[in-house]
Copies of this chain bind each other. A is one copy, B any other.
Amino acid sequence: MSKKFRIAIAGASGYAGAELVRLAAAHPYFDIAAVTSEKSAGQSVASVFPNLTGVVQHTFEALAPEALAERADALFLALPHTKSQEPVALCMKAGKLVVDLSADYRLKNVAAYEQWYQTPHTHPALLHEAVYGLPELHRSAIAKAKLVASPGCYPTAAILQLAPLFAKGLVQLDSIVIDAKSGISGAGRSPALPYHFPEAHESLEPYKIGKHRHIPEIEQELSGIMGTPGAVTIAFTPHLVPMNRGILSTAYCKLKTEIKLPELRALYREFYKGERFIRLYEDIVPNPRYIKGSNFCDIGVYADQRAGWVVTVAAVDNLVKGAAGQAIQAMNLMMGLPEETGLTAPGSYP
């Protein structure tokens, strides 16, 4: 297992890309062969991300998928949604391992993709080859996959916090409300008025109420756990919170039959037994500040027995377990490496 894999990171000048570079640079079995960025081509990585000064010597290059695939054994694509369809196909054709961080290969249903992303899908066949890259749900499929579609940040939290309940078929399907909150890095690195500091600071903004593109992913996976495609419809409201990183997802649902809290928690412990990156809380409530910079997904289950609701809370770092870390976790599996390789650093405090 001492062999190193040559890896390439495309679209590395966004925040998820920067995290991929940071984590890849410290990964014992990765050699970074190339990093690409259209916007920053020709600039050194360190000049764009000064945190990496003295750590990474690379220079961004423009993306040429086929040439890139030749220089790498495995590729991470962190391109904008809809822009990843073709590069993925080219890398697959070259026989490489691919983890795609865009949404382009996450939805199994082509029509759903085309409706939510308002663009045709040019490689529908590949959709069925792609595995949804949530190792806690699809570990063995990922290990065998050539193409993994890495989940969105909100879905990572939302699916993991609800999966044990859906696996047991406990949830009243018309009762699911997911109120999610994200730090501003979730909006990407392109300046725009809503993310301009004086607009986003001392501010708290719900957006795309019931219309966020992460909805179909969450519904697909929760339905999948139940074995009934299309079964699940959720109310989902994301909010922008004035912090840099982190997602907190607060999910509400009713159960078909009353189950006491200790039993619910036992069910979660059982479901996530042995999972390296799931941490279950009882007395403490998950909070993004406990997982910043780490690949953990922290989950807590609480019951509002008076009102008859189960409330679950999940926290992930949107750029690590919600993006770069999870992509590497999947790639480790695809490469036959221990899943946690290069991902064990805890968050710092505070």
Residues of A bordering B, CB below 8 Å: 15, 18-19, 22, 25-26, 47, 49-55, 174-175, 177, 179, 181, 183-185, 189-193, 195-207, 209-211, 233-237, 239, 241-246, 248, 250, 252, 254, 279, 281, 283-285, 287-294, 296, 298, 302-309, 311, 313, 315, 319, 344-350
Contacts and interface: CB of A to CB of B under 8 A. Distances in A.
Contacts of A207: 285
Contacts of A47: 283-284
Contacts of A306: 210, 233
13 contacts: A15-B198, A19-B348, A51-B289, A51-B290, A179-B250, A191-B193, A191-B196, A202-B288, A204-B241, A209-B285, A233-B306, A236-B307, A239-B250
A10 B244 CA distance: 32
A248 to B, nearest CB: 5
Contacts of A308: 174, 233
B348 A307 contact: no
Contact of A293 (B250, B293, B296): B293
Contacts of A315: 204
A56 B350 CA distance: 17
Contacts of A345: 26, 345
A54 B294 CA distance: 12
Contacts of A189: 193, 196, 198
Contact of A197 (B52, B201, B211, B313): B201
A207 B303 CA distance: 13
A9 B293 CA distance: 24
Contacts of A185: 198, 350
A193 B289 CA distance: 14
Stoichiometry, as copies per complex, reads: 4
A188 to B, nearest CB: 9
Contacts of A197: 184, 195-197, 200-201, 242, 244
A293 B348 contact: yes
B205 A184 contact: no
A55 B291 CA distance: 12
Contact of A288 (B203, B289, B311, B350): B203
Given A197-B195, A198-B185, A246-B204, A346 B177 contact: no
Contacts of A248: 204, 206, 239
Contact of A244 (B181, B195, B201, B205): B201
B233 A292 contact: no
Contacts of A294: 51
Given A210-B303, A210-B306, A347-B51, A252 B177 contact: yes
A209 B175 contact: no
A252 to B, nearest CB: 5
